Amino acid sequence: MIGGLFIYNHKGEVLISRVYRDDIGRNAVDAFRVNVIHARQQVRSPVTNIARTSFFHVKRSNIWLAAVTKQNVNAAMVFEFLYKMCDVMASYFGKISEENIKNNFVLIYELLDEILDFGYPQNSETGALKTFITQQGIKGQFQTKEEQSQITSQVTGQIGWRREGIKYRRNELFLDVLESVNLLMSPQGQVLSAHVSGRVVMKSYLSGMPECKFGMNDKIVIDKAGKGGVTNEAGKSTSGKQSIAIDDCTFNQCVRLSKFDSERSISFIPPDGDYELMRYRTTKDIILPFRVIPLVREVGRTKLEVKVVIKSNFKPSLLAQKIEVRIPTPLNTSGVQVICMKGKAKYKASENAIVWKIKRMAGMKESQISAEIELLPTNDKKKWARPPISMNFEVPFAPSGLKVRYLKVFESKLNYSDHDVVKWVRYIGRSGIYETRC
Amino acid sequence: MTDSKYFTTTKKGEIFELKAELNSDKKEKKKEAVKKVIASMTVGKDVSALFPDVVNCMQTDNLELKKLVYLYLMNYAKSQPDMAIMAVNTFVKDCEDPNPLIRALAVRTMGCIRVDKITEYLCEPLRKCLKDEDPYVRKTAAVCVAKLHDINAQLVEDQGFLDTLKDLISDSNPMVVANAVAALSEIAESHPNSNLLDLNPQSINKLLTALNECTEWGQIFILDCLANYTPRDDRESQSICERVTPRLSHANSAVVLSAVKVLMKFMEMLPKDLDYYGTLLKKLAPPLVTLLSAEPELQYVALRNINLIVQKRPEILKHEMKVFFVKYNDPIYVKLEKLDIMIRLASQANIAQVLAELKEYATEVDVDFVRKAVRAIGRCAIKVEQSAERCVSTLLDLIQTKVNYVVQEAIVVIKDIFRKYPNKYESVIATLCENLDSLDEPEARAAMIWIVGEYAERIDNADELLESFLEGFHDESTQVQLQLLTAIVKLFLKKPTETQELVQQVLSLATQDSDNPDLRDRGYIYWRLLSTDPVAAKEVVLAEKPLISEETDLIEPTLLEELICHIGTLASVYHKPPSAFVEGSRGVMHKRLPLGGDIGGSPAMGAGFGAAPAVMPASLNAPVGGGLGDLFDLGGGVGMPMGAYIPPKTVWLPAMKAKGLEISGTFARRAGVIQMELVLTNKAMSVMTDFAIQFNRNSFGLAPAGPLQVLTPLGPNQTIEVSLPLSTVGPVMKMDPLNNLQVAVKNNIDVFYFSCQYPISMLFVEDGKMERQVFLATWKDIPNDNESQFQIQDCHLNSDAASNKLQGSNIFTIAKRTVEGQDMLYMAIKLSNGIWVLAELKMQAGNPNYTVSLGTRRDGEQHY
């Protein structure tokens, strides 16, 4: 298990050092500084073995967090724990910076004592931790007996992520479907690879211990329902909506996984406030919001003509925003002339690219840019590698086609029903790595 | 006000000031002072002098102050054991506190204070806390048992804590169960045979129930524990798999990987024609792919594991090639791992895509990555025959870029392609030759020289090219020198007329001016071959070469099986068994997949025999006698399983003599194969690679039957055990003593020599049984001169036991006779070179001394 945990600043000075196991000595602190932080080379691996001691590290801005062990620990768990620790710290005091860590070092030691025991991670849900570890020192001494046992049962309980007795005057739910669409396309317009990685992010402000049920147009669920119910002659399911095939999804620990496995229904008692309910990945029938058509022509050895057409491929009533097309130019470019129909385009010598920006663009439209690139003659034999043209954008729909069908809330003990909850749903599709080779 | 100010005080006399503040009457001031002490402790200052003052602050109602004092105690108690006792009272009192948070805090902290005297006081409070009404206290106490066990294992056993811990597996609270499982698993690791966890279908059921309810971390503990269980049949295996698969959708990657481990292991037991088996295979791919969208550090862990999974079960991810395509912004460690997996997944179906990608990568910035990409193109060519031509042309394109390291890497892989597909792509040689001057790395130079030598007849100016290398012969690395020597000899054999002078030159350079024995030896061999029998030389030097294998860097199957059992852990990241990097007894236990066949088992047996100080008569300093004496071994019990005698390992080559490489070893005969078992230890500061071994000619023609299998570089202070199968068909030369063996071991640093003596018994072959009649006839045939006698003293075995024992070493009893209270055993031994040795063993009841008469028909042989 984890033998010790160290936090360093960018210079390699120790800010926090907590040793859990006897086999980790003080020299381990220095070994990591000398061999990793002060190493001349770029870091080649997040796991380093120095003199039979293994160091796992992650970096947050210029702070190094390192977990140390001499045993055959579960490596995935160690990294998950380090990320979790960053989350916990961030939720207590914001950004993880040298200043914040120094300001809160007593708190951090307290947290480390609680969430890691003899190197075994314990409950690290901030919802639970905040009931008895606070920045104003520890509660505890003023608590009643009931409060104390409530804390302990929550920390060890099945629902460690939510405390009892939460009350809101207005019960509200915000649900964001955030997708990033990734594409690699050949110059001829053939899709080499495309996938959507999506997240369902929630903010819940609900009283009591509500039971939630979330439904989406998952193909497997809808097909099942379709089989049981009436199907029309086209064989489509009765719901009439299109369904999507989800390759894989993972859930927040509040979701009952065995229920998902058997019935494919997503039910859970939500944490309070912000959390990520699920992540998913799709690769089939993706709506590619934009198509990029490049045309590069070499005119002699000192000139390039580039023409790029972009076409928006979604409902005309919708608007895409923050569109940016990045056209790479050779290293020996001496001058560029650009003409574009819409938006603004600039040659940025420092980035070796022409950057074309369009604020808004409706669906089913087309726009074009043409550029003449003048080149300095070089004797460099290495050919220009022609990096791909990349694109950024934001669209108000989910490129995977995912639709939220329902989000029901049940709270049996308190007197509010599903209808009383105000629900907000939003879809945002962004570009991930969206590239077209030219 | 913030806490950062505590970090700033660095004045002299600080300790003195702190002391005053700690003893202040004001509570606030005390707390401030303790905070300062903790801050100093963090940055590594020694504040142990304040021990009594800090401990004095322990008696407080302020929980925050208490926690700080505890933190201090944990750090310094060990260095001040006597004063730490002062804290005991408070601990014991706190363990009775009405507030469960304080009870838990006390028991948690006490376990971290590693002072023997304190552990005694810990027992009673711990016992109470293990049965506390509050689950928070119980879950803390469960971990405390593991802490206590780490300090004093005997105490934990004596106090019966292990049983209490086992009871907690049935606790109603899932977190208590999870911590109890974690604690028990850790304790069980240091008692490999204790069956502590006692996993059975009932307890497994309890664990699987708790799995659905506990925290993400608890799920990991439980899954890792489940992975150690071996289901009784395929039914049970399937039902566990069914209950574990939902975990594959967990957001925590460690939960997913641990679930994958359980499934990969239990799948072994499922019949392949089962529908469920196919379903399970399909279910594994998506979560593995999803792991690749995690943070980069986790991606790295996942990729290292996927690398293992792909080797074990390629079918799982064979359609997922695309997800391993490298992204421009991936950190370098992710890129390199992805590349590795891409090559493993490359097949005829996807090779076009893979090649297109690899070509893109070869134009990237990072040198290591580009090199690996170029090498990968070569490996694709060797793996997928249909793609070879495309790969070669891609490599040629890359050579045209003239980027130095790309060219060198390309030439190295093209050499391999030539070996795999001889006489197919020679047209590219001209292009390669153009780049001769830019090659400055030994591997690339050696590869190029090999190509020139191999295809000397088609390269018009081969002699000029090779001659140009010869100028700086002594500055080249050994690799290049050896290759150059061979290449020029090849050239000479192909074009004898023009190159006589050249070959003379290289032979004299190699044999007369070189200090390198390898080079000298090879030089002499060629020289003699060429001067005595040019035809034979041709047959040797221009012999057809064995094909090279398709897959490189595959992990050896038994290691792979073990690593699969360690999915998710450090072992799977390092691709090394835990024993290679974990000290002490922990993790030394080798894990194995179920139904994986029974491997090994015998090494321990040999060790059981121990040393054999049989006293031999001084006049007969015969190693055979020595060997036989060893075989009897006084210590060995009669009831022991019989196996061939294996002498204990001795140091053959001390580190002092071999620039830090220490070699110890022994010989054994296992399943009819003679094994040389070596332990290589690197005691130098630098990494050792490129191990190779050679034997000098010896009495029984022993020779390595394969290369020395040291696949990974040997880091400083690492030890590796290898066993080298030996054949007995090598060149023969009589040695003195007869069983002397001269060995040369080479690595990247130098070549080292040592000699060792092997027990003759390992040459005794399994079919050494002889018909009685034949035995009699042979016995009579032996001339008297060829007989010898000696005594073995202090042997307390009866004749049957002795006979049994000797049979284990392939010494067969042909007949037994009892004459005048003496047992006479007649035995036969057949040596690997076909010589029979017959023996008569006289033993007298009550007399521990045996008389052995040895005879053999062939002259001279029994002088040993």
Contact A81 B217 (CB under 8 A): yes
Question: Quick one: which of A265, A263, A206, A159 has its CA closest to A409?
Answer: A206
Tell me the pLDDT band of B736, cut-offs 50, 70 and 90: confident
* Cα–Cα distance list, B757 to B118, B520, B698, B735, B746 (Å): 54, 26, 11, 11, 20
* Structure-block tokens of residue B591: 């894990």
Q: What is the DSSP string of B173-203?
A: SHHHHHHHHHHHHHHHHHSTTS--S---HHH
Give the helix/strand (H/E) hosting A204.
strand A191-205
Shortest alpha-carbon distance between residue A419 and chain B (Å): 30
Summarised one tens digit per residue, pLDDT across range B200-245 is 888 899 899 989 888 999 999 999 999 989 888 889 999 999 999 9
Please tell me the predicted confidence (pLDDT) of residue B611: 33
| Residue A260 shares a structural domain with residue A304 | no
Sign of CA dihedral B231, B252, A85, A46: positive
- Least reliable range by pLDDT among A318-322, B102-106, B388-392, B835-839: B835-839
- Residue B328: pLDDT over 80: no
| Residue A198 shares a structural domain with residue A115 | no
Q: Does residue A32 form part of some domain?
A: yes
Summarised one tens digit per residue, pLDDT across range B500-549 is 888 888 998 888 888 888 899 999 999 998 888 888 888 888 888 877 77
Name B821's Cβ contacts closer than 8 Å, sequence gap at least 6.
B844, B845
Cβ-Cβ contacts under 8 Å between A and B: the total is 274
Name B481's Cβ contacts closer than 8 Å, sequence gap at least 6.
B473, B510, B514, B516, B519
Please tell me the predicted confidence (pLDDT) of residue B609: 33
- Residue B841: pLDDT over 80: no
Contact B220 A257 (CB under 8 A): no
Name B10's Cβ contacts closer than 8 Å, sequence gap at least 6.
none
Shortest alpha-carbon distance between residue A382 and chain B (Å): 5
Contacts of B106 in chain A (CB under 8 A): none
* Cα–Cα distance list, A397 to A240, A321, A362, A400, A403 (Å): 19, 12, 13, 9, 9
User: Which phi and psi (to 5°) does residue B245 adopt?
Assistant: -55, -35
The angle, 0 to 180 degrees and rounded to 10, between the axes of the packed helices B63-76 and B100-110 is 10
Mutate to test the interface with B, among A152, A185, A281 (most CBs of B within 10 A): A152
- Residue B618: pLDDT over 50: no
Summarised one tens digit per residue, pLDDT across range B60-84 is 778 888 888 888 988 888 888 888 8
| Residue A196 shares a structural domain with residue A314 | no
The verdict on whether residue A213 carries a ligand-binding annotation is no
Return the ∠ at Cα A354 (arms to A350 and A358), rounded to 5°. 125
Contact B569 A117 (CB under 8 A): no
Flag whether the pTM goes above 0.90: no
Shortest alpha-carbon distance between residue A108 and chain B (Å): 11
Contacts of B257 in chain A (CB under 8 A): 74, 76
B202 and chain A: CB distance < 8 Å anywhere? Answer: no
Contact B251 A248 (CB under 8 A): no
B397 and chain A: CB distance < 8 Å anywhere? Answer: no
B221 and chain A: CB distance < 8 Å anywhere? Answer: yes
The percentage of chain B sitting over the pLDDT mark of 90, rounded to a whole number, equals 27
- CB-nearest partner of A83 from B258, B295, B570: B295
Q: What is the arithmetic mean of pLDDT over B400-406? A: 87
Q: What is the arithmetic mean of pLDDT over A205-217? A: 92
Tell me the pLDDT band of B852, cut-offs 50, 70 and 90: low
Q: Does residue A143 form part of some domain?
A: no
- Residue B108: pLDDT over 80: yes
Q: Does residue A160 form part of some domain?
A: no
Shortest alpha-carbon distance between residue B421 and chain A (Å): 30
Shortest alpha-carbon distance between residue A380 and chain B (Å): 10
Residue type, B192: P
Please tell me the predicted confidence (pLDDT) of residue A383: 61
Sign of CA dihedral A129, A130, A136, A137: negative
Q: What is the arithmetic mean of pLDDT over A175-204? A: 91
* Structure-block tokens of residue B634: 């006084």
Taking CA–CA distances from A6, the nearest residue in chain B reads B42
- Least reliable range by pLDDT among B134-143, B641-650, B797-806: B641-650
Contacts of B256 in chain A (CB under 8 A): 76, 250
For residues B297 and B284, what is the distance between their CA atoms, to the nearest angstrom?
21
Taking CA–CA distances from B585, the nearest residue in chain A reads A71
Summarised one tens digit per residue, pLDDT across range A288-312 is 999 999 998 888 888 899 999 999 9
Give the helix/strand (H/E) hosting B598.
none
Cα A175 versus chain centre, distance: 15
Tell me the pLDDT band of B143, cut-offs 50, 70 and 90: very high
Taking CA–CA distances from B244, the nearest residue in chain A reads A258
Tell me the pLDDT band of A49, cut-offs 50, 70 and 90: very high
Contact A46 B61 (CB under 8 A): no
Q: Which domain holds residue A419?
A: 172-224+243-285+402-436
Please tell me the predicted confidence (pLDDT) of residue A380: 61
CB B518 within 8 A of CB B752: no
Contact A383 B401 (CB under 8 A): yes
* Structure-block tokens of residue B698: 């010896």
- CB-nearest partner of A106 from B35, B566, B568: B35
B8 and chain A: CB distance < 8 Å anywhere? Answer: no
Contacts of A155 in chain B (CB under 8 A): 136, 175
Please tell me the predicted confidence (pLDDT) of residue A370: 94
Contact A253 B111 (CB under 8 A): no
Q: Does residue A159 form part of some domain?
A: no
What is the value of ipTM here, to two decimals? Answer: 0.81
Mutate to test the interface with A, among B48, B156, B185, B298 (most CBs of A within 10 A): B298
Cα torsion B104, B107, B110, B116 to 10°: value is -170
For residues A157 and A114, what is the distance between their CA atoms, to the nearest angstrom?
15
State the CATH number of the domain containing residue A11: 3.30.450.60
For residues A326 and A353, what is the distance between their CA atoms, to the nearest angstrom?
6
- Residue B284: pLDDT over 90: yes
State the CATH number of the domain containing residue A351: 2.60.40.1170
The mean pLDDT value of chain B amounts to 81
> Under CATH, domain B764-856 is a member of which superfamily?
TATA-Binding Protein (3.30.310.10)
Bond before B654 cis per omega within 30 degrees: no
* Structure-block tokens of residue B435: 């780049």
| Residue A8 shares a structural domain with residue A81 | yes
SS3 B594: coil
Number of domains comprising chain A: 3
Q: Does residue A147 form part of some domain?
A: no
Shortest alpha-carbon distance between residue B417 and chain A (Å): 25
Contacts of A138 in chain B (CB under 8 A): 63-64, 67
Give the helix/strand (H/E) hosting B116.
helix B116-130
* Structure-block tokens of residue B34: 């303790």
Contacts of A250 in chain B (CB under 8 A): 249-251, 256, 287, 290
Mutate to test the interface with A, among B45, B216, B565, B681 (most CBs of A within 10 A): B216
Q: How many CB atoms lie within 10 A of CB B278?
A: 13
Contacts of B332 in chain A (CB under 8 A): 42, 44
| Residue A34 shares a structural domain with residue A125 | yes
For residues B621 and B623, what is the distance between their CA atoms, to the nearest angstrom?
6
Of A132, A157, A183, the residue that ends a domain is A132
CATH of domain B14-230: 1.25.10.10
- Give the total residue count for chain B: 864
The verdict on whether residue A11 carries a ligand-binding annotation is no
Question: Quick one: which of A28, A31, A35, A29 has its CA closest to A8?
Answer: A29
Taking CA–CA distances from A49, the nearest residue in chain B reads B581
- Least reliable range by pLDDT among A249-258, B570-579, B620-629: B620-629
Give the helix/strand (H/E) hosting B233.
none
Summarised one tens digit per residue, pLDDT across range A124-156 is 888 888 888 876 655 545 567 777 777 887 777
Shortest alpha-carbon distance between residue B853 and chain A (Å): 54
- CB-nearest partner of A102 from B7, B68, B245: B7
The verdict on whether residue A359 carries a ligand-binding annotation is yes
Q: What is the arithmetic mean of pLDDT over B261-281? A: 92
The verdict on whether residue A236 carries a ligand-binding annotation is no
Is domain B650-762 classified as CATH 3.40.50.720? no
Q: CB burial class (10 A; 0-12, 13-18, 19+) of residue A95?
A: exposed
Q: How many separate helices (H) and strands (E) can be counted in chain A?
A: 8, 25
For residues B156 and B145, what is the distance between their CA atoms, to the nearest angstrom?
7
For residues B411 and B66, what is the distance between their CA atoms, to the nearest angstrom?
68
